[in-house]
Structure 1
Amino acid sequence: MLAARSWRQQAGAAPPAAAPLQQRRQRPCQQRQQQTVQAAATTTLAPTTVAQAAKPSRKAERAQQAVLDAIADVQGRGKGGMSPEQQAEFDAAVAVLEADGGMAAPTDSPLLDGRWRLLFTTRPGTASPIQRTFTAVDSFKIYQDIDLSGEQPRVCQVVDFGKSVGYLRVEAEASTDSRPLAGFTPRRGEGLPFGIMGRSSSEPPARPGLRVDFQFDRAAFTFNALPFKVPYPVPFRLLGDEAKGWIDITYLSPDGKLRLTRGNKGTLFVLQKEVSAKSRLLEALSSRQKDDDLIEQLAAEVQAEGGGEAVPASSPVAVGTWRLVWTRQGATANPLQKALAGQVDNWQIISPDGRLENRVQLLPGLRVRALAGCGPEPAPGGGTRTGVEIEEVVIEAGPLRLPLPVKADGRGFVEWDYLDGDLRISRGSKGSTFIHVREA
C-alpha cells in the first residue's frame, strides 16, 4: 500500500491514455444472445451493471482503492487496527473523494437504490450507544437498504445475525429535496440531555441533492426458529426527534458501487453496493469473452442464495419462451448437440398444457424442432424435476417438414436448479447444464 505522502502526490497525476479497444466480429446468434442477456440484465439488475454504469475518474479510482486498502484489516468495522500511516492514507483518500463528489445529486440517482453493506464506520462520542454496539461486532453483517424511487421512499437498517439465527430490520420513512415527505419536520437540536442517545447536528447540507432525512417508524427481529416476528422494543412514536435523523451522501461513485455517508451524529460510513450472485451472473453472461468456469461458479452461487421458485417443476413461472444463453455439455450429451452448443440460436418453449418444444435455428429458414410432453415427476423428484418424453423431431426448411426417427424410449428430465421470472438454471438427464433467460 502506498504511504500517505506518496499517495497524495500520485492522486493528482494525469491518467495514462486508454488503450483503444479492438472490435471483434460475432456470429449473428452470438450477437442476439448477448442482446437478450443485456436486455434481461437491464430489467433485473441493480443499476450498478456494466451496461449502465459510468467509471470513476482515475484519481477517484485510486482514492477508492486507498480507502479500501486502509480499512482492509480494521477490526469491528472501525474498532481498531488502523496504523497512523493507514489513518493518514484513509483521511487523505476520503478528502479526495468528498471533494470529487462523484454523482452531483446522489439522492436523485437510481444508483443510490439497493442494498449497501457497511464496511467501515468511525464512531465518535456523539454516536448513539446502539450504533456503537452493533457496528463493533464483526460476526454481524450490517446493511442499509435504500429505496428512494419507490412509491414511498424508505431507508432501512438491517443487522444480519447469520442464516442460522435471523436478522433485525429497522425501517424509516425518507424525505429528500426532490421527494419531500408530506408533513415531515426535520430533526432539530442536539438531542436528549447528557448525550444519552448521542448528540445530533442540525448543520444544513453542503448543496441540494445530498441529504436524506428520515424518521424510524417500525422494526422487528426475524428469527428463523420462530414462525413470527418479534417487535423491536423501541416506541418510535413516543421518541419525537430521537426517532429522526439524516444522512448526507458525500460521495457516490459514478458506477454506483461505493459511497461515503456522514450521519447527523458525526459518523462517517463507508458502504459498498451488495451485488447479488444473479446480477454478477448476468454480467458474466453479457461479456463478449465468456469465462465458463466463472459462469458455472456464479450459477452455483445463485442456487445457494435462493430466492427463486420453491417448487419450480410445477410453477406457472416456467411457462413461456426461454432463450438458451449458455451451456456446458455433459460427457454423454448428443454429439450434434455438443457441436452446435453456443453456435446457433436455441429456445425452449413450455406451454401451459404440459407441452415442451426445443427449437434450434440452424440457418435462416432452416430449423430443428423437438416436441415433447412434460410434467412434474412424483416425489422425490417432484418439485425440482420435470419429466420429458420426446414424441416428434422434425427438420423444417420453409414449408417442407422432414420427420426424424425418435428413440423408442425418448424419456429424459430437466432438473431445475433455479427459476424466477426471467432466469432459469437447469440440468438435463445427460449431465449438461443450461442457462436460459426469458424472451418476450
Structure 2
Amino acid sequence: MAFVARADALWLAKSPRQSPAVVSHEHARRTSVRAAAALARRSWCRRSARQAARESCGVVVRAQHGFGGAETAQRYDKEAQELKEQLLELVQPAQNARGRLTPTQVRDQVLELVQLLEACAQKHQTKRVTSAQLPGTWKLLYTTRPGTASPIQRFVVGQSEFVSNVFQDLSIDLESGTGRFNNVADFKQRAGGKLYVQALIERIDSELNRLHIRFDLAYFEFTSGLVMSLLRREEPLRVPYPVPFKLLGKKACGWLDVTFVDADLRISRGNKGSMFILVRERDAERASETN
C-alpha cells in the first residue's frame, strides 16, 4: 500500500497541472481498483484454504490405498479432528436453539465445515453404516429446516422455548438390513413431558450409506409440569400425536444418508433436504441433562 501511495504521488508530481475535479476522479478510480484487488486477494485466500483441505483429504485417501501408510492416516485423523473442533465450537451454544437462532454468517461457516468433513469421509470412510459406529444414543446439536421439513421437525426445531434437548436412539441389524429409530424431544421443566417419534428402518443401502425409514408411531407423554397440574393428574398421560402414519402410505417414508460418522460425531442428510449434526450421548450425560 505504501508503494502504491508513493506511485500516486509521483504520478501527480509529473503530470501536467489538472483541475481538482479531474485529480479527485482519478484518485477515486485508483482507490476503487486497489479495494477490488484487496477483495480479490481475500477471496482467493479463502478458496485456497478450502481447496487445501480438500486436497489434504484426497492425499489421505490415496495413502489409505497404499501410497503413504500410517503416517498419512494420522494426518487425516488430525485434519478431521481440527474440522470437528471448529464445527462443534459453532454449534454447541445453547442459545442457537439447534440452528434456529444461528446468525447467517455462522450458518455459512457451519455448512462449509460440514461439506469439508463430508468430502473427507466420502473418500476415506466409504463404509459409514456399520454396527460399530451407528447404534447408540445421539444428541441433536444443529439442524437446517427447509420449507419442506415435516411438521414434527418444524415443531421440534421451532419450539425451542418448550424443547430443551432432542435425542435419537438408534439400533441396526446389518444381517437383516433393518433397525429402528426412537427420537425423543425433552420438554423443559414447566411442560413436564416428552415427544416420542419412532421409525422403522426398512432397508439399509450400504453402498449409499443410506437408511430407508418408515415413521410408524408418535405420541406425547406427560409426567409433570403445567399439563399435569391443569388436569390434576398424577399418573403419566400419553397423547397420540395427530399424524396418522398408517394412513399416509409412502408419505410416511423417507431416507437418511450418513455423510460423516466417527466415535463422537455424526452428520446426516434427509430426503427433504434437512441436515443434522449430532454428538454421541453417554448415559450419565443424558441422565444429568434430563433430570
Alignment partner of 1:159 out of 182, 185, 188: 185
Cα 1:123–1:228, aligned 2, differ >3 Å: closer, same or farther? closer
Q: Which residue of 1 aligns with 2:118?
A: 98
By how many angstroms is 1:228 displaced?
Answer: 4.3
Cα 1:108–1:176, aligned 2, differ >3 Å: closer, same or farther? farther
- Quick one: which amino acid aligns to residue 235 of structure 1? P
Unpaired stretches in structure 2, ≥5 consecutive residues:
1-42, 57-73, 225-234
Aligned counterparts, 1:30-429, within 5 A: 57-73=77-93, 75-84=96-105, 86-101=106-121, 103-139=125-161, 140=163, 141-149=165-173, 153-162=179-188, 165-177=192-204, 208-225=207-224, 226-253=235-262, 256-277=263-284
For residues 266 and 75 of structure 2, what CA distance do their matches in structure 1 show? 14
The TM-score normalised by the length of structure 2 is 0.62
What is the aligned-residue identity percentage? 35
Structure 1 contact 161–167 (Cα < 8 Å) conserved? yes
By how many angstroms is 1:170 displaced?
Answer: 1.1
Q: Which residue of 2 aligns with 1:31?
A: none
By how many angstroms is 1:227 displaced?
Answer: 3.0
Decide which structure has greater strand share. 1
Cα 1:160–1:11, aligned 2, differ >3 Å: closer, same or farther? same
For residues 274 and 56 of structure 1, what CA distance do their matches in structure 2 show? 24
Cα 1:306–1:266, aligned 2, differ >3 Å: closer, same or farther? closer
1:355-388 CA-to-partner distances (Å, cap 9, x unmatched) read: xxxxxxxxxxxxxxxxxxxxxxxxxxxxxxxxxx
For residues 213 and 219 of structure 2, what CA distance do their matches in structure 1 show? 18
Structure 2 contact 169–182 (Cα < 8 Å) conserved? yes
SS at match of 1:265: coil
- Quick one: which amino acid aligns to residue 223 of structure 1? F
Unpaired stretches in structure 1, ≥5 consecutive residues:
15-53, 179-206, 279-300, 308-440
139-148 or 149-158, larger mean C-alpha shift: 149-158
By how many angstroms is 1:60 displaced?
Answer: 0.8
For residues 289 and 275 of structure 2, what CA distance do their matches in structure 1 show? 30
Structure 2 contact 267–278 (Cα < 8 Å) conserved? yes
Cα 1:173–1:249, aligned 2, differ >3 Å: closer, same or farther? same
Structure 2 contact 204–212 (Cα < 8 Å) conserved? no
Decide which structure has greater helix share. 2
RMSD: 3.4
